[in-house]
Structure 1
Amino acid sequence: MIPDSAPRLADAVREATAVLAAAGVPSPKVDAELLAGHLLGVGPGRVRAMVLGDTPAPAGYAELVAERAQRIPLQHITGVAHFRYLELEVGPGVFIPRPETESVVQLVIDWLKDRGSAHPKVVDLGTGSGAIAGSVAHEVPGAEVHAVEFSEFAHAWAARNLLPLGVRLVRGDLRDALPEHNGTFDVVVSNPPYIPAEAVPNEPEVALHDPPEALYGGGADGMELPAAAAASAARLLVPGGYFVMEHAEVQAGWIAAMLERSGLWSSVTTHLDLNGRERATSAVRRPAPTRSDERMSQ
């Protein structure tokens, strides 16, 4: 709705950009445009075209800008997070998916494409909003995709996003989930919580609004849940199956060493995100040793 006495959209977006910049919002102009587009029902490209004319600002725009200036996440205000080709429903109680996680999805898709499996079986451990599982289901025709989420609130958001895509969503702990599927998955992917216990995120949007259970990985180093995700992946994968896990840049060496030490994995590889940071590690599940292998090693 646009009131008759509304200021011009161009002036409103300019003022909103200044307000958000003063509040420390990292991308003030983009957020100002996205909030306007949310109320107008158009994309950012259309907003940029509209500000060149005399289009009036929509009703309620200043109020949404004021909310964002309080560092309430943009996605909580609009109720939507864009991730690859998906528009995900999000809100309080669920981790907002990050753009860097899109590269983790690409690793899964590329691996499956290289192997040409007609009906691969994939599971996302700790799915949150369902961004990873939903993207795989959307972009890999014929894939049987499962997703596991422990949080009651996140599970509810994931259900909204994943059930329409045919993903098999269960509420459970990534430590022991899906025992009935042991040794049957072609791919296990996970973006588990991994922040150390004493590390408080700098961004208010994260520290105040992302649920703590989606951030902190357990233990002083934050590595309890990543280690558990790797153990579950080893249990769930077929021999030769693929595991990929997102992590913090500073954890890449530790995770690669953990996988190598276990003796369960080959082809351990660290991957960079679009910003050149060590964002994910992948590995291939080794076959279980045979009795003759065990005798030879003695």
Structure 2
Amino acid sequence: MTRQPLRLAILEAERILAAAGVASPRTDAELLAAHLLGVERTKLMMVPLVDPPVVQALHELVRRRAARVPLQHLTGDASLGNVTLSVGPGVFVPRPETELLLAWGLATLEGVDRPVVVDLCTGSGALALAMANARPDATVHAVEKEPAALAWARRNADQQAQAGDTPIRLYAGDVTDPMVFMELEGLVDLVLCNPPYVPEGTPVPPEVRNHDPHEAVFGGRDGLDVVRHVVGCAARLLRPGGGVAIEHDDTHGGSVPALLRARRVLEDVQEHTDLAGRPRFATARRTPPPTS
């Protein structure tokens, strides 16, 4: 059995993925090869030759990726912060843009001892688990209404707890319910949310259209159906001085900050852009208590 150069197999994979319209064909080809070989992507150069069955297995993964199955469904995982999450059909795949929202949340909690954090619309549990990993002194609550996504979140939470990280408190619930987390009203230091926010009818890539759950992506005609409830929920939960960060569509650079400013108990409303300079998330603070 003649061994074959891995470099040539990756070049062929890149060619196939580029022809299929995959946005990052070289990166995806290398990540699939690294997944298959069980090595880090940066160590691929240390594997010059592979057996023909490996090339065949890589070709099969590339074929599925060329059919626009999400990369993360093929590798079985995605990451946020320092946490690796299991993902697959039935749950929204975390995106790199959400790292910025996580970083803002962590910066907001600097100097806060044993903070209380709430992750609304948790999906795979990404934000909640990344926060618990970075702040082991925090009490992190997370809520999700979709049973399939909640199952992925429970799986990820169990894996992280087994790895020794601080467990999160995971709930089945709907952020549009005015009673959700009623027991935490006025006690929360930080509310984070990556809700469904794409306006209905917006063209999206095949990976999103065919594989991400519709209810986790689209937020009604203007994309704000869930966001409106999130703003109200955050205003209710935050303690004075606490912060909220809500990810949103790049068309919402004016509307989400306006929703936050409309709540008299919220102040210091700010818009934040992603690495491409597009509006990506908005933040606010709960007004401090009156001084005597």
Where do 1:144-163 residues align within 5 Å? 144-163=139-158
| 1:215-260, Cα deviation, whole Å (9 max, x unpaired) | 1112x21111011001001111112211110001210211111211
Match of 2:4 among 7, 11, 14: 7
Task: Name the structure 2 match of 1:268.
Answer: 269
Task: Name the structure 2 match of 1:141.
Answer: 136
> Within 2, Cα distance between the matches of 1:80 and 1:28?
18
> Within 1, Cα distance between the matches of 2:34 and 2:203?
32
Where do 1:277-292 residues align within 5 Å? 277-286=278-287
Q: Secondary structure at the match of 2:276?
A: coil
Match of 1:38 among 35, 46, 51: 35
> Within 2, Cα distance between the matches of 1:288 and 1:215?
37
Where do 1:149-188 residues align within 5 Å? 149-163=144-158, 164=161, 165=165, 166-176=167-177, 177-188=180-191
1:289, CA displacement in angstroms? 8.1
> Within 2, Cα distance between the matches of 1:228 and 1:239?
20
Q: What is the identity percentage for the equivalent residue pairs of Structure 1 and Structure 2?
A: 45
> Within 1, Cα distance between the matches of 2:124 and 2:113?
26
> Within 2, Cα distance between the matches of 1:261 and 1:10?
56
Deviates more, 1:97-106 or 1:273-282: 273-282
| 1:255-279, Cα deviation, whole Å (9 max, x unpaired) | 1112112212110011122222221
Letter in 2 for 1:141: P
| 1:116-147, Cα deviation, whole Å (9 max, x unpaired) | 12200000000111111111100113011111
Instruction: Verify the 8 A CA contact 1:9 1:56 in the aligned structure 2.
Output: no
Task: Name the structure 1 match of 2:198.
Answer: 195
1:174, CA displacement in angstroms? 1.3
Q: Secondary structure at the match of 1:284?
A: strand
> Within 2, Cα distance between the matches of 1:244 and 1:129?
18
> Within 1, Cα distance between the matches of 2:67 and 2:46?
28
> Within 1, Cα distance between the matches of 2:215 and 2:285?
28
1:27 partnered with 2:24: yes
Q: Secondary structure at the match of 1:249?
A: coil
1:54, CA displacement in angstroms? 3.3
Deviates more, 1:231-240 or 1:254-263: 254-263
1:286, CA displacement in angstroms? 2.0
Task: Name the structure 1 match of 2:107.
Answer: 110
1:95, CA displacement in angstroms? 0.4
> Within 1, Cα distance between the matches of 2:66 and 2:262?
47
Letter in 2 for 1:284: R
Unaligned 5+ segments in structure 2 are: none
> Within 1, Cα distance between the matches of 2:230 and 2:36?
40
1:207 partnered with 2:201: no
> Within 1, Cα distance between the matches of 2:45 and 2:229?
46
Task: Name the structure 2 match of 1:245.
Answer: 246
Task: Name the structure 1 match of 2:124.
Answer: 129
Task: Name the structure 1 match of 2:65.
Answer: 68
> Within 1, Cα distance between the matches of 2:69 and 2:3?
25
> Within 1, Cα distance between the matches of 2:256 and 2:79?
29
Match of 1:18 among 1, 15, 33: 15
1:83 partnered with 2:85: no
Letter in 1 for 2:210: L
> Within 2, Cα distance between the matches of 1:288 and 1:193?
32
Instruction: Verify the 8 A CA contact 1:133 1:162 in the aligned structure 2.
Output: no
Q: Normalising by structure 2, what TM-score?
A: 0.92
1:183, CA displacement in angstroms? 1.4
| 1:29-54, Cα deviation, whole Å (9 max, x unpaired) | 1111111111110010011343xx33
> Within 2, Cα distance between the matches of 1:34 and 1:160?
24
> Within 1, Cα distance between the matches of 2:190 and 2:197?
21
Unaligned 5+ segments in structure 1 are: 293-298
Instruction: Verify the 8 A CA contact 2:90 2:213 in the aligned structure 1.
Output: yes
Q: Normalising by structure 1, what TM-score?
A: 0.90
Instruction: Verify the 8 A CA contact 1:33 1:48 in the aligned structure 2.
Output: no
> Within 2, Cα distance between the matches of 1:178 and 1:161?
22
